A and B are shown apart, each in its own frame.
Chain A
Amino acid sequence: TQLLEQSPQFLSIQEGENLTVYCNSSSVFSSLQWYRQEPGEGPVLLVTVVTGGEVKKLKRLTFQFGDARKDSSLHITAAQPGDTGLYLCAGAKPGANNLFFGTGTRLTVIP
């Protein structure tokens, strides 16, 4: 059983559209990280959120940590083909530094 469930699993959209990816769990995390991974490469850290209710923006990407620190969302505005990739959320339990990875969301942005 996966500790973190992401939805949707696959997403194919047109360039310029908006989208939201969800990362949900029944467990509480001390921090949650979002990564993007390209084929054949390692995940690249996008953001870390640590406070319940926290919102962070990275250009067209907006990340939110749930108030109870059990879930998170990633919203992309005006998606571009360069946003294509596998998006992974990962949470750290209190007192531990190993990460539990989500199931992943594979995004394709069509020009």
Chain B
Amino acid sequence: GAVVSQHPSRVICKSGTSVKIECRSLDFQATTMFWYRQFPKQSLMLMATSNEGSKATYEQGVEKDKFLINHASLTLSTLTVTSAHPEDSSFYICSAVTGYEQYFGPGTRLTVT
């Protein structure tokens, strides 16, 4: 199957700082990637759709100025959590589309202290 990587796998940052998470499709090109957030013992919540070469599409209730998404190439999308607060602590997962299937990265555990 297709492989998607995320970096870092875990990050701890102080309140008020910004954190960048990278999502890469390793063996295929993806014009579309997705960013999800997952709270403990819950399902995945779609945050935004990342489109290569154009602006991301955000789901209702997701602040686009807080969660900056850049999809600069066909294999890389980044999510930057700006001015992070403790309530932003969560498990962030990206996925990349090939054909009609989505393949997920291993996730990034963000802890804001």
> B-contacting residues of A (Cβ < 8 Å)?
2, 30-31, 33, 35, 40-45, 48, 50, 88, 90, 92, 97-99, 101-104, 106
- Closest chain-B Cβ to A96's Cβ sits at a distance in Å of 9
Q: In the complex, are the beta carbons of A42 and B41 less than 8 A apart?
A: no
Q: In the complex, are the beta carbons of B43 and A97 less than 8 A apart?
A: no
Nearest 5 pairs of A and B residues by beta carbon: A42-B104, A104-B43, A42-B106, A101-B44, A42-B107
A48–B101 Cα gap in the complex (Å)?
A: 7
Q: In the complex, are the beta carbons of A33 and B102 less than 8 A apart?
A: yes
Closest residue of chain A to B49 (Cβ to Cβ) is A98
Counting contact residues on chain B (CB < 8 A from A), the size range is 20 to 34
- Closest chain-B Cβ to A86's Cβ sits at a distance in Å of 8
A43–B101 Cα gap in the complex (Å)?
A: 13
Q: In the complex, are the beta carbons of B1 and A45 less than 8 A apart?
A: yes
A88–B67 Cα gap in the complex (Å)?
A: 25
Closest residue of chain A to B91 (Cβ to Cβ) is A40
Is B54 an interface residue when CB atoms closer than 8 A count as contact? no
- 16 contacts across the A-B interface (CB closer than 8 A): A33-B101, A33-B102, A40-B107, A40-B109, A41-B106, A41-B107, A42-B6, A42-B95, A42-B105, A44-B104, A45-B102, A97-B97, A98-B49, A99-B34, A104-B43, A106-B41
